[in-house]
Structure 1
Amino acid sequence: MNQHLNPFRQTDALDEVLLDVAALIELSPRDRRVADNRYRLLKQHLERKGSPLAPYLVDGVSLIYAQGSIATSTTIVSGTEDDRFDVDAIVEIDVPAHWDNDRALDLLEESLQGFPGVVKIVRCTRCVQLQFAFMHMDVTIMDRSARLAVERAGEIFHSPDKGESSRVPSNPWGFTSWFRRTVGIGQEAFKEILRRHRGAAGRDRLPLLNENERLVVAKADQVDLPPMIPSAIDAQEAVALKLMKRFLNLRYEGLPVKRAPSIYLTKRAGDVGYVPQALTAQLFALADSTAKIMRNHIASGTRPRELNPSYPPDRINDRWPAEGAAGVKDMKMFAEQLEYLCARLEQMAIAPLDDMAKAIDELFGERVGKAQREAMTARYDRRQEPGLLFAAPRSGAIAAPAIVTAPQTYREVPRHNFHPLILGGGDEG
């Protein structure tokens, strides 16, 4: 691509803004400790005397562990009007052969009654949901009685209000391991940049359940306990995935169609891999490539069929898209949203900062946008280096006063803590 036509040629200003957004929408280190404590409480509560599931939790064999976005370190604020996080847990038991396909979730729901701090308990199709203030925990039963050769593979239960219940092959442990191996822990330079943005923009959101939880979380600050939640991933691929999930949450709010499940988006993020031209390009590549896959399926009359790389019987998008014409509508809507994100990123990459700010409000929410601007302003106010930095409207470029020939055409921006990343080389796209 000709460099004059490539909007991602120099995106340091937009990358900085997106890093603030990412820090704002994720669990803070303190909130991760709060969530980690609740996983520990889950184990204690299910193993307590009188719990209907206690006899089936075999110490040293059965595990209770994080799955989904909390395990892949891609949990985000899911609510648009509140700061809600959704996290997931797996409870492994050996399900007796005589149980029907509803009994495991029935007993799980019964065993979770009285869980500390829970506002409401909701029975769902494949899990039981514990609702706290600002946080949900979806708890799923995994039957490992077959002792499959694949590590921690088994079956979960599909128990709808209407229709027949069934079992579904599943291996969330293996999928988490695949994603974390594929993405890695993150590039050192990017991790350092992200750390700085977290320091400026990160927010603690989860209220403590009681004094005991306060003491446990405080102790975790001093003594590293074996985590129930895996360590954080600071890879650029994971950050781009968080941004895309937040965008889709807002775009799908109120729409009459279901969006692709988060695990499908996570698989796509792993497949796309690392894009060396920085965060904006990473997000664009994830959205653009996924939209193209949807368009190809629509054109060929097929459907995406993503399998868990660790256990192929586990089809990770088995409930999306819908069957028939409804599924085509699902894919078309998904492609359109991703294409819109790509178009907005192209515009933002060469936009002045005030236009960029308006776009952040639209794509990620006004509250997040406002908080991002506050974080950027605070970072600018703490700047120790002398001199100013300016952004040229419609170019995305940043320059110092000594090289600005027409200062009136530039807008002052906060000094960056990292070097500009130049996208592409020569005529490459």
Structure 2
Amino acid sequence: MTCHDPFRQTAALDEVLLDVAAVIELSLRDRRVAENRYRVLKRHLERGASTLAPYLVDGVSLIYAQGSIATSTTIVSGTDDDRFDVDAIVEIDVPADWDNDKALDELEKSLQGFPGVTEIVRCTRCVQLRFPFMHMDVTIMDRSGRLAVPRAGQIFHSPDEGASYRVDSNPWGFTGWFRGRVGIGQAAFAELLGRHREAAARSRLQFIDEQERLVVMNADQVALPPMIPSAIDAQEAVALKLLKRNLNIGYEKLTLSRPPSIYLTKRAGDLGYIPQGLSAQLFALADSTAKIMRGHIAAGTRPAEENPSYPADKINDRWPRQGADGVTDMRVFAEKLEYLAEKLEAMAQAPLADIAKAIDELFGEHIGREQRAILAARHDRRATVTPILAAPRSGSIQAPAVVVAPERFREVPRHNFHPMRLDDPHDE
């Protein structure tokens, strides 16, 4: 790829974005907590009191992670509530005499009494277990059709109003496709990300009980079968996390639904690796997806992405909406992406104060506060510059150990960053 003004010197912006990514993802300890809850889910549904137990004893049925937890792209949701949303599949042979509501009915019954939950909520396609700082969406998968595609089957759409129906699905295959596309990550990037995790990782999940605490604390000494696929340190996955977080913030006050995470994941997999670095990766993901939306609007069409492992699985079957509402969905989505791309271009040639200000806007104020504290501590340890702090949304930077009065605040010098255009093959 040749560009007139590539991201050649984005070390500082990449540093800030890596901090944000480390703050918003599951820490190693939180991954262990989540993994233990998948094990508890399996035990709970296989217990004698579970009406699903008879369908989970044949040695073939599976309970496994799906969605962001399986693709290693889980992030905190909301501006103030640090909550993780994870997903699980319960794969069984659904009896032929069950209607399209009964599978979720039985799942809801069987989940009653789950340890540590604050609430159990029946949703359209899943049953949600709510814990402090975490939701687990549990979905029934009917594998009775024994399709030729591994682990493909049907899930159930069971709304409060309107007809219930089945939906072709293969989350297992989609996870394999995405992880195969991005690989394990580039070694140099993974090493850099690891250093940021050491400084920025935040553990948020509370233990259900003493037993869970002991399981998690002893995880290094007691080897247990993995329930969650290993973490992905690829640049593509980190950019996807940042985009998801940005859209969570951007859509929070809107009544419109944002596109499903699986659609964003498909886009990240299709885009591939951008060698100019994390800033360029995020820019390319936002910019290219916005162009796709604008193309659909101009042509009067709509995205119709398929699961590469099983084309019958339409991964954005409920988004965008039909007709004029769908045009609105795509237009707003494109505007959000275009705004992010524009901000990244500006940040790539901005002083650090402006970068700090933009982080608050793009990823949330409390994430921005955490990132600035991490950045300040890192620069303090380097002993080459004074500690750096910035007031939320102001861009003001101070070194509290040496600065007495606000009028003596000093701005960090400008960086020689350059904006990037990825859509003009004639630029050099």
Give the TM-score normalised by structure 2. Answer: 0.90
- Deviation track 1:87-143 (CA, whole Å, cap 9, x = no partner) reads 000000100111100000000000000000000000000000000000000000000
1:103 aligned to 2:102? yes
Q: Which runs of structure 2 are paired with 1:264-279 in the superposition (5 Å)?
A: 264-279=263-278
User: Is residue 88 from structure 1 mapped to residue 87 from structure 2 by the alignment?
Assistant: yes
Mark the CA change 1:154 to 1:62 in structure 2 (over 3 Å): closer, same or farther: same
* Alignment-derived partner of residue 397 in structure 1: none
Q: 1:421 to 1:330 in 2, by over 3 A?
A: closer
The answer to whether residue 53 in structure 2 is matched with residue 50 in structure 1 is: no
CA distance 1:158–1:422, change in 2 (3 Å): closer
Counterparts in 2 of 1:148-163, with a 5 A limit? 148-163=147-162
Q: What's the CA shift for 1:413?
A: 10
* Equivalent AA in structure 1 for residue 412 of structure 2: R
Give the equivalent residue in structure 2 for 1:29.
28
Correspondence for 2:190: 191
Hey, what does 1:226 align to over in structure 2? 225
Aligned to 1:137: 136
Partner in structure 1 of residue 117 of structure 2: 118
Q: Provide Cα deviations, 1:374-427, integer angstroms capped at 9, x if missing partner.
A: 11111122227xx55999xxxxxxxxxxxxxxxxx982699xxxxx99989998
Please tell me the residue identity of whatever aligns with 1:318. D
SS of 1:117's equivalent?
Answer: coil
What letter is aligned with 1:26? E
Quick check: 2:349–2:414 contact (8 Å CA) kept in 1?
no
Aligned partners of 2:418 and 2:198: how far apart in 1? 22
| Change over 3 Å in CA distance of 1:28–1:236 after alignment to 2 | same
Q: 2:376 aligned with 1:362, yes or no?
A: no
Partner of 1:18: 17
Partner of 1:403: none
- 1:271-350 alignment runs, 5 A limit: 271-350=270-349
Q: 1:388 to 1:427 in 2, by over 3 A?
A: farther
Equivalent residue for 2:404?
Answer: none
Cα deviation code 1:67-103 (max 9, x no counterpart): 0000000000012121100000000010011110000
Give the C-alpha shift of residue 6 in structure 1.
2.4
Unaligned runs of 5+ in 2: 389-409
Q: Is the 8 A contact 1:73 1:232 kept in 2?
A: yes
Query: Cα offset for 1:219?
Result: 1.4
Shift of 1:2: 9.8
CA distance in 2, matches of 1:200, 1:289: 32
Aligned equivalents of 1:297, 1:220: Cα separation in 2: 48
2:71 pairs with 1:72: yes
Instruction: Trace 1:406-425 onto structure 2 (pairs within 5 A).
Output: 411=412
Secondary structure of 1:126's aligned partner: coil
Instruction: Tell me by how many angstroms 1:224 deviates.
Output: 3.2
Q: Tell me, yes or no, if the aligned pair for 1:9 and 1:424 is still in contact at 8 Å.
A: no
| Structure 1 pair 150–22 and aligned structure 2 pair: CA distance change class (3 A) | same
The Cα shift of 1:7 comes to 6.5
Residues of 1 paired with 2:8 and 2:256: CA distance? 36
> Structure 2: which amino acid aligns with 1:209?
I
The structural deviation recorded for 1:187 is: 0.2
Judged with a 3 Å threshold, the aligned counterparts in structure 2 of structure 1 residues 382 and 58 are, in CA distance, closer, same or farther, namely same
Distance in 2 (alpha carbons) for counterparts of 1:305 and 1:422: 32
1:62 is matched with which residue?
61
Task: Give the RMSD, CA atoms, in angstroms.
Answer: 2.5
CA distance in 1, matches of 2:228, 2:2: 45
Q: Which residue of 2 aligns with 1:173?
A: 172
Offset of 1:8 from its aligned partner?
2.6
State the alpha-carbon separation in 2 of the partners of residues 140 and 411 from structure 1: 50
Residue 401 of structure 2 corresponds to none
Matched residue count: 405
* Equivalent position amino acid for 1:309 in 2: P
For 2:209 and 2:418, the matched residues in 1 are separated by 46
Give, as a single letter, the amino acid of the residue that structure 2 aligns with 1:296.
G
1:226 CA displacement: 1.7
- Whether the 8 Å CA contact 2:283–2:344 is kept in 1: the answer is yes
Residue of structure 1 equivalent to 2:406 = none
How far did residue 58 of structure 1 move? 3.0
> Which residue identity lines up with residue 8 of structure 2 in the other structure?
R
Q: Give the stretch that moved more between structures: 137-146 or 212-221.
A: 212-221
Q: Which ranges in structure 1 are unaligned for 5 or more consecutive residues?
A: 392-408, 415-419
Amino acid at match of 1:248: L
Aligned mates of 2:358, 2:310 — CA distance in 1: 40
Structure 1: distance between partners of 2:122 and 2:93:
21
SS in 2 for 1:221: coil
How far residue 43 of structure 1 moved from its aligned partner, in angstroms, is 0.2
- State the Cα distance separating 1:221 from its structure 2 match: 2.5
Structure 1 residues 301-342: Cα deviation after superposition (integer angstroms, max 9, x where no partner)? 000000000000000000000010000000000000000000
Runs of 4+, deviation exceeding 6 Å: 420-427
Q: TM-score, normalised by structure 1?
A: 0.90
Q: Which residue of 2 aligns with 1:207?
A: 206
Judged with a 3 Å threshold, the aligned counterparts in structure 2 of structure 1 residues 201 and 390 are, in CA distance, closer, same or farther, namely: closer
- Cα separation, 2, equivalents of 1:201 and 1:189: 18
Identity %: 73
Question: Matched residues in 2 for 1:272 and 1:191: separation?
Answer: 19
- Following the alignment from structure 1 to structure 2, what is the Cα–Cα distance between the partners of residues 388 and 325? 54
Distance in 1 between the 2:118 and 2:2 partners? 56
CA contact (8 A) 2:71 2:178 kept: yes
- Output the CA distance in 2 between the equivalents of 1:413 and 1:371: 22
